[in-house]
Structure 1
C-alpha cells in the first residue's frame, strides 16, 4: 500500500511538473517553421523560448510563498488556468512579438507546476527518501523531453506549428483535473498560521544569505544552464547545420532524456551507499570532464554529429544524478519554508538558464561551436561550485546532518 501511494504521488507530481517543459520540448522542432511563418530571424525566435524561461523562473517567486500561506493546491489551479489561456493565445499569434509576449504569460502559469511539486516532496519526506521520490518524479518529468519532441513533430506534420499550442492547452486542462481528483493537500492549515507576505520576504532574505543553500542551487543551475543552451541552439544546429529532419532531431534529442531518466533512478540507492554529497561531487566533476573533452574536440576543428551526441549523452546521464540530488540537499534544512525555498531554487536556476541562453544567442550562427562553448562553460562553473560548496569540512557537515 505504501509503495502504491509512493508511486502514485510521484506520477501526479511528475505529470504536473512536466506540463511546462512539455510546452518547451514539443515546441522545439517547430522553431525553424515559426521563423519562416512569422518572418522572424533566428535570434527573435529564440527570444520566444527565453521569455518563457524568464517568466518560468520569476513566477516561482510568487507561487512558493503563496503555497506556504494558502496550501499547495489553490496556486496550482491558478497557474494551470493561466497557462491554458496563454497557450490558446500562442496558437492564434500573428507576429513574433505577440508570440513572445504570450509565451511570457504561458511561463508565468507553468511556474506553479515547477515550484510546488518540489515543496510537496519536502512536505512528505527528507534525506534519501526524498531523493527517491524526487528521482521518481524526475522519471515522469523526463518523459517530456523523451516523447514531446516526437509528439511535436507529429503534430507539426499534421497541423503546423500552431497545433503544438492547442495540444499543450489540452494537457493543462488535464493537469487541472489531476490536481482536483488525485492530489491531496500536503500543507495543513495548522502549518500555514505563521506564513505571511512579510514572512516570505524574511524567508527570501534568510535564503539569500545562506551560502550553502545558494551553492547547491547553482550547482544544479549550472547543469541546467548548459542544457538550456542546448535546448535553444540544437534545433538550428542539428536541423540546419547537420541536415536532420524534425523527426530525426526529435530522436536525437530523446537520447539525452533517456540518459537522464536512467541514471536519475539510481540517486536513492547511490545516496544510501555513498552519501548524497559524494554522488554530487563525482557526477558534477565527471560531467565537467566530458564537456571539456567536447569543447576541445570542436576547438580542434572537429565537426561530427556522432561525437556531439555521444558525449552529450554521457553528460546528460551525469546530470541525472546532479540535479535531483542538489535539489534535495538544498531543501533539506528548510522544511518550514519549503515552498519559498523551492520557489527561489527554481527561480535562480531558470534565470541562470535564461541568461545563458540569451548570452549564447548573441553569438549564435547556426554552427555548433557557440552552443558547445556555452554548454561546457556551464558544466565547468558547476564543478568549481561543487567543490567550493561541498568540499572539505562543508561536505562532511552536510553528509552527517
Structure 2
C-alpha cells in the first residue's frame, strides 16, 4: 500500500475521535440550555471524554500488541457506536457525561492503533512523513466538523449529531475491513503478561527521552483542548458569533496547526528533529504569552485573538507529530504500549488542564488565553530541562 493511501485510511480512522469533539462544539451553549445545565457541567462532558479517552489507551495498546491491530479497532468502534446512541437519547447532563466517557473509551482505539501501525511500518523520516499525512487527513475535522454540527443543529437539534456519528462508525468499520491491512503478524505479537507490562512500562517511565517528549506534546495538546472547551462560549458570549461564525473562526485557528504539520518531516530532515521541536516550542510560548499580555492590556479583539492563535498553533503543528515519532522510535518492540502510555499521559494532562482552568472561566477570553499560555510555558520548561537528555540516536529524523 502506498504511503498516501495508508495515510488516508489511518487518517479517516483517526478522525473519528476529533470529529466527536469538533462537531459537538457549536452545540455546547444549546446543550447548556436544553439540559438545564451550567457551563461547568457542559464542559465536564468534554473532560469526561478526554480523561477516559486517555486512560483507556493503556488497555488498547497492549491489546493491539497481543491480538493484532485490527481486532481492537473493531471492538473500540463498536463501543463508540453504542455510546453515540446513548448520547443521542441522554435525558440529563449526567447521562450525557456518562455516555461521552464511553465514547472516549471506544474512540481511544483509533488514536493508539494508527500510531502503532505507523511504527510497525516505518521509523525516522518516513514515519514522520506518514504521521504528518495522517494529521493532514485529520485536519478535515476542525475545518468541517463544526460546520457540519451547526447544520445538523438546524436540521434536527444537537441530538442528531450523535446519530450521524453512529452512522460514521459503520463506514469506519467497513474501511477497516476492506482497506486496512494487518501490520502486526502473529509471530511478532506479545502476550499480555502483567509482569511484562509492568517491566515495559518501567522502561518507558524511566526513559527521560520518552517522558520529556511525551509531556512536551502533552502540554501542546492541553493548550488545544483548553481552547476547544472554552472557545464556543467565548466566541458566542463575548464576541456574539453565531454557531456558523464560531465554526469558521474555529477552523481558522485549527488550520495553522495542520498546515504546518506538513513541514515537520522536511524540517526534521534538514535541521534535525530535536532542534525543530526546541525552536517551535519557543515560538509557541512566545506567541501565547504575548497574546495573554495583549488581552490583559485590553487589546484582545476577535481578529487579534484569531490571528495570534493561528500563529501559535502553526508552531504547535511542528511539535506534536515530531514528538510522537521521536518518543516511539527507540521502543519499536513495545510500540503499542509506548503509544498507549504516551497517549494516556497526554490526554490526562489535557483533561486535567481543562479541569484546572474551569473555575477561572468567566465567559471572556482572558482565562482561556491565560491557561493556554501556562501550557506553553510548561512545554518550554520541559524543552529546556528534558530535551537535552534525548538519546543522540533519537535526536534527528532522517
What range describes the TM-score normalised by the shorter chain of this pair?
over 0.9
Q: Which residue of structure 1 aligns with residue 145 of structure 2? A: 148
- The Cα shift of 1:400 comes to 6.0
Say if 2:373 is the partner of 1:376: yes
The match for 1:275 is 272
The Cα of 1:277 is off from its aligned counterpart by: 0.9
Q: Could you say what secondary structure the match of 1:144 adopts? A: helix
Residue in 1 that maps onto 2:103 = 106
**What's the counterpart of residue 287 of structure 1?**
284
Q: Does 1:367 align with 2:371?
A: no
CA distance in 2, matches of 1:267, 1:256: 19
Superposed, 1:315-330 pairs within 5 Å as 315-330=312-327
The separation in 1 between residues aligned to 2:195 and 2:185, in whole angstroms, is: 20
Q: In the alignment, does 2:68 pair up with 1:71?
A: yes
Partners in 2 of 1:187 and 1:275 — Cα distance? Answer: 29
Question: Which residue is equivalent to 1:94?
Answer: 91
Q: How far did 1:398 drift?
A: 3.1
Contact 1:143 1:257 in 2 (8 A): no
CA contact (8 A) 1:286 1:318 kept: yes
Cα drift, residue 205 of structure 1: 1.8
Shift of 1:241: 1.1
Alignment of 1:51-70 (within 5 A): 51-70=48-67
TM-score (norm 1): 0.97
2:382 aligned residue (361, 381, 385): 385
Q: Assess if the C-alpha contact under 8 Å between 1:65 and 1:197 holds in 2.
A: no
Residue 303 (structure 1) aligned to one of 291, 300, 303: 300
Q: 1:168 to 1:74 in 2, by over 3 A?
A: same
After the TM superposition, which parts of structure 1 deviate over 4 Å for at least 4 consecutive aligned residues? 393-397
Q: CA RMSD in A?
A: 1.3
**Contact 2:287-2:308 at 8 Å conserved across structures:** yes
**Cα offset for 1:192?**
1.1
- 1:292-326 deviation line (CA, Å, top 9, x unaligned): 10011112232311111000000111111100000
Alignment partners' CA distance in 2, 1:16 and 1:400: 28
Is this contact kept in 1: 2:272–2:396, CA < 8 A? no
Task: Give 2:82's aligned residue.
Answer: 85
* Equivalent residues in 2 for 1:192-231, closer than 5 Å: 192-193=189-190, 196-231=193-228
Task: Quote the offset at 1:13 in angstroms.
Answer: 0.7
Give the superposition deviation at 1:331.
0.2
Mapped partners of 1:289, 1:369: distance in 2: 17
Q: Hey, what's the Cα distance between the residues in 1 that align with 2:58 and 2:351?
A: 16
What is residue 243 of structure 2 aligned with on the other side? 246
Instruction: Please give the alpha-carbon distance, in whole angstroms, between the structure 2 residues aligned to 1:394 and 1:334.
Output: 13
Structure 1 unmatched runs, 5+: none
Aligned mates of 2:2, 2:316 — CA distance in 1:
27
- Contact kept? 1:71, 1:192, Cα under 8 Å: yes
1:35 aligns with 32
Partner secondary structure for residue 353 of structure 1: helix
1:258-313 deviation per Cα after TM superposition (whole angstroms, max 9, x unaligned): 21121111111111111111111111110000001001111223231111100000
**Corresponding residue for residue 133 of structure 1:** 130
- Change in 2 beyond 3 A, CA 1:214/1:394: closer
| In 1: Cα distance, 2:276 partner to 2:391 partner | 11
> SS of the residue aligned with 1:34?
helix
Question: Which one is further off, 263-272 or 328-337?
Answer: 263-272
Q: Do the aligned residues in 2 keep the contact of 1:25 with 1:148 (CA within 8 Å)?
A: yes
CA distance in structure 1 between the partners assigned to 2:298 and 2:247 by the alignment = 26
Name stretches of at least 5 consecutive residues in structure 2 with no aligned partner: none
Instruction: Kindly indicate whether the alpha-carbon contact (under 8 Å) linking 2:273 and 2:396 is maintained by their aligned counterparts in 1.
Output: no
Q: State the match for 1:399 in structure 2.
A: 395
Q: 1:52 to 1:194 in 2, by over 3 A?
A: closer
What does residue 17 of structure 1 align with?
Answer: 14
Looking at structure 1, the residues matched to 118 and 193 of structure 2 have their Cα atoms a distance apart, in angstroms, of 22
Q: How far does residue 209 in structure 1 lie from its aligned partner after superposition?
A: 1.3
